[in-house]
Each structure stands twice: as C-alpha cells, then as structure tokens.
Copies of this chain bind each other. A is one copy, B any other.
Amino acid sequence: MTPLSPTPRSTLTRKKDRGRTDRAELYAVLDEGLVCHLGLVLDGSPVVLPTGYGRDGETLYLHGSTGSPSMRAAATEIDICVTVTLLDAVVYSRSVNDHSMNYRSAVVHGRARALSGDEKWHGLRVLTDHLAPGSWEHAREVSAKEFAAVSVLALDLAEASVKVRDAGALDHPDDVEADAAWAGVLPIRMSFGEPDTDPKCSVPVPAHVVERVGPSTKLPR
C-alpha cells in the first residue's frame, strides 16, 4: 500500500507526533465511523454537514439527495473536506491545562464527482453495507425511481491525513511528583442497544442486525 504522502493541505502543522502515515490506519478510521462531516464553501461561507458515507478501496462514497444544495454544490467538483472523528476517551490530568481526549480522526481533501450508472449502483451498495451491513441482500432493492432521486458522490482518498492520540495523562514532572490530583483515562464506549421492531412488521429480527448488538469498545460510531 502507498503510504500517506502529505500535500500542503494535508500536512499536520502541530502535534505532529500524532500523525500517522500508514494507509491502513486511514482505512480503519473511515471503516469504523458511521457519519462524516462534509465541509464546503457555499455562497462564500463554510458549511459543515453530517453525511452518510462508505469506503471501498481508495474511494470514499458520499450519500445525498439531489435536492440538497450542499450535495449539489459538492457534485460540481469544488474543493471539499471530509472529516471522520472517533472519540476513545477523556484524559484526566493532574493539571487542568493537560486534560485531553484520546481520539482518531481522518481528514480527506479533494474534489468529488457525481456518479451515474454502474458506478452509482456500486456506490449505493457500499453506502448500504457501511450503514447497515446485510440490508442490501435482505431489504427490498432500490427501484429505478429511487435510484434517480438519490445522489452518490465519489471522493478519491489520495489527499488524506490521520491523527491519533492514544495515551494516558501527560503531566509535567512537578505535577506527577506532587501527586495531588487524580490522573487517568475514562474510556468512551459506543454500542448498539436492543433492536426495536416496527409494530407493523412481523419479520423476526435478522441475524445481521442481532449480531451488531452488545457492549463493545470497538463498534462503529
């Protein structure tokens, strides 16, 4: 795999020790998140919107409606920025100033293109497999009318950076010596709860839904 090779936009300017150059780490963050935050410039102002996405290889697929001004703008091959953030812990330090968070974040810069035909079908499948694995096979397939009303964008992962903080409290030695306040890590956990079946549905909860349920520290969020 090609390592992440930074452009000026994707070069970390601070906390460089938190930067990762392994493409597998980029994929891991993107595959674990559930929504991204899509940033673009609309009428001269920055706009940041939560958006569904999915990844296949070196392509990030973004989901939208053809009626959304942001998605319509993003489809005109303007610069966009897509960020996925996973929160892992609150880090308590002996000093207020050294409090922090453990997190993993991926930032992708580029220009997206609107898909059509087979590419769009593939993108829809990737988006579905990301949000609800198993649903593509289980649920009623997308009709021609539905297909026309949805927009799927593709963004290349060439220009991306990954940042990770995965450490305990990093206090000044004087504060460690003083031992006057609690220091440690409070993990943040994401999990799926019990499925709540629609009252008009008599189909039992399928295995692909059941298997997502349960406590875990490593679940999509």
Contact = CB atoms under 8 A, between A and B. Distances in A.
A206 B189 contact: no
B205 A182 contact: yes
Interface in A130-161: 131-132, 135-136, 138-143, 146, 150
B179 A96 contact: no
Nearest to A197: B184
A208 to B, nearest CB: 9
A25 B69 CA distance: 24
A16 to B, nearest CB: 11
A90 interface: yes
Give the most central of A48, A139, A194: most B CB within 10 Å.
A48
A61 interface: no
Interface in A89-104: 90, 92-97, 99, 101, 103
Q: Chain B CB within 10 Å — which of A38, A41, A179 has the most?
A: A41
A57 to B, nearest CB: 22
B201 A183 contact: yes
A215 B215 CA distance: 9
A79 B44 contact: yes
Contacts of A221: 87, 188, 190, 221
A89 to B, nearest CB: 8
B97 A46 contact: no
Interface of A: 8-9, 13-14, 34-35, 37-41, 43-50, 52, 65, 67-69, 79-83, 85, 87, 90, 92-97, 99, 101, 103, 105, 107, 109, 124, 128, 131-132, 135-136, 138-143, 146, 150, 168-169, 175-176, 178-198, 200-206, 209, 212-213, 215, 217, 221
